[in-house]
Structure formats: structure tokens, C-alpha cells
Amino acid sequence: MSSVDIIVPCYNEEAVLETFYRVTEETLSSMTGYQFTYIFVDDGSRDSTLAKMKALAKSHSNVRYLSFSRNFGKEAAMYAGLKHSSGDLVIVMDADLQHPPAMIPEMMKGIEEGYDCAAARRTTRAGESRIRSAFSNLFYRVSNKMSDVKMPQDAVDFRIMTRQMVNSILELSEVERFSKGIFAWVGFDTKWYPYENVERTLGTTKWSFRGLLKYAIDGITSFSISPLRLVSGMGFLISIVAFIYIIATLIQTLIFGIDVPGYVTTLCAVLFLGGIIELSIGILGEYIAHIYMEAKDRPIYIIKSTNLSDRDGKHESEPHAKTDPSDNAS
């Protein structure tokens, strides 16, 4: 019998957590040959998400949980879940039921066929605003043009992975994480399963437009240096144009004499060059910020409480984590 760990990042998901477990269990109960264990990761929720996790752990022997000391972000939550998993297979999915649990049996067939990963990809973006959908499509086009790491259009985090692939992902321990890119970067054979977008019916989304924009910028700068090359190219092009303009001005002065320079021309040139300089500094700043965050070598997350010490009757050691023995479920 193969062991399967289900990693579920959670942030303020009190409204949906019990429903998620019930709906998922209804699907998994029909699957034979697999032993499923849930690892819920509380990403510093401000509601009663942790209390719901503890209640599920007391009622069900296949439920484990991790709780962060504060909100570290979904990427850190996924990494923590993967790091504390030990199953032969690992499933990553959201708690909001927008990743349909009913797809798991079909996706598992892909693993049984010999694929290293079975992943979901949305075919529609129903329920999202047109602006958000347009920016999402633009992100995938720009990212795939700039980077050698190709991400399928509308790929999501919902996937089943073999232990070998999970271990390879864990070797990439950078602080500024972009899992969609990491999943693609490590390679391995992936079978894609298209599905229609499912609108959220319980709880509220935690992603703002500003958060998604930052996430997209992090994704591009984490796997591509093309923006830096673009800055160099713009600098070279502007230098050539400026040199040609200087030569033309000298020739015009020698032939026609000194002319009064145009105010509009000067103003446009200054504003244009100033904008290019600011853009270049901004792009350089993004990469320097990545270097700064990685150089500090801070832990990706800090665990405040967990019941993972119950698993297999031994304690899970974590160098940067503090666990609370009183939280261990019986």
C-alpha cells in the first residue's frame, strides 16, 4: 500500500476547513491501495483555523497540522508541508475547494502510468475579473518569453508528485520562492489534466491585485535575467542615438551656425532619459532585493505548534522550529 501525504496550506480558512476534509474524504474513500494523511499548514491565520485543525486532528487519526508563528505566505506553507512529508506520493492542493478533490482518482492514474507528476491546468477563468485574467495571461506570455523555464498557461499548484520529485524540490531552499517555476525547473515527466475553473463558495480569497502583481514580478525575476539584459540593451541603444544626435548637432552648427535649442525637445529628452534611468534602477533593485533576502539566510518559516511528533511515534526535528508538546494529538 502506497502512502500519500496531502499538503493543504491554510490562511483564514475556518469557514471551509471541515467541508474540505469531508468532501475530500468522500472521494478518497473509494480509492484502494493508498493510505492518505493530511498535513494542514496554518500560515499564521487570524481566525479559528488552527482550532479547526486541532479539532479535526482529535477526531481523525489521519490528520496532522503545522502552525506558523506568523503569516509567512503560501509559498512557505507549501515548502513546510513538503519538508515534513514522508509519503511515497505527495498531493498539494488548496483548502478552498477550487482544486476539485474529485480529480484526484483520475490524476492518480497518471502516476500509475509512470509519470513523476500529475498536475492540473485551468481551461477557463470563470468568476475572475477581465483585468485579472488579462494580467494573468500576460504574465505567462512574458515569463515564458524571458525564461528558459516554460510554465504551461494557467497551471495551478494542484498536483500529485512522486517522492523523488519532492526531494528534488526540497533541494531548492531559496527564501524568495515561486513554486510554479520551481515545479517546472526541476523537470520530471508531468501529465496535465485540464479542468474548468471552480468559483469559491465559502470564505474569501486572500489574493489582492497588488499581491498578485508582486508574485508575478518575483516569478519573472526568480527564473530569468532577461530584464537585466533588456536594461543593457536600452542603455546601448540610447547611447547610439545620443551619439548620432551629437554628430548631427555639430554638423548643423558648423554649417548653419549656432541655433537656439528647442525647449520642448530638451524637456522630452530629459524626461525620457530620466524615465529610462528610473526603470533601470527599479529592475536592478528587484534583483538586489533577491540577493539581500537570500544573503540573510533567515528561515523560510517558524513553527509555533504541531502534532507531527505523533507520526510514526517519533518527533520531527526542525532546526528553526519550535514545537509545543501539549498540542500533540492522542
Span 88-107, pLDDT tens digits: 999 999 888 888 898 999 99
CA dihedral of 127, 131, 135, 138, whole degrees rounded to 10: 100
pLDDT of 197 above 80: no
CA 109: distance to chain centroid? 25
pLDDT on residue 313: 38
How remote is the C-alpha of 197 from its chain's centroid?
18
- Residue 83: pLDDT over 60: yes
Cell 528610473 sits on residue: 278
Identify the weakest region by mean pLDDT among 36-45, 216-225, 275-284: 216-225
At 90, which helix (H) or strand (E)? strand 89-92
pLDDT at 241: 73
Take residue 121 and report the three cell numbers written for it: 491546468
The mean predicted confidence, pLDDT, of the chain is: 77
User: Pick the residue with more confidence: 84 or 239?
Assistant: 84
pLDDT recorded at residue 318: 43
pLDDT (average), residues 227-245: 72
Which amino acid, residue 265? T
Find cell 494529538 and name the residue: 329
Strands 89-92 and 63-68, by their bridges, are unpaired
Q: Which CATH superfamily includes the segment(s) 2-208+299-327? A: Spore Coat Polysaccharide Biosynthesis Protein SpsA; Chain A (3.90.550.10)
The yes-or-no verdict on residue 225 having pLDDT over 60 is yes
What local confidence, expressed as pLDDT, does residue 259 receive?
59
Q: Which three cell numbers stand for residue 180?
A: 510554479
Asked whether the beta carbons of 39 and 65 are under 8 A apart, the reply is yes
Q: Which residue has the higher pLDDT, 165 or 261?
A: 165
- The residue with greater pLDDT, 61 or 238, is 61
Cβ atoms of residues 101 and 24 within 8 Å: yes
Give the pLDDT band (50/70/90) at residue 230: confident
pLDDT value of position 36: 92
The confidence score (pLDDT) of residue 326 equals: 40
- Residue 312: predicted pLDDT: 43
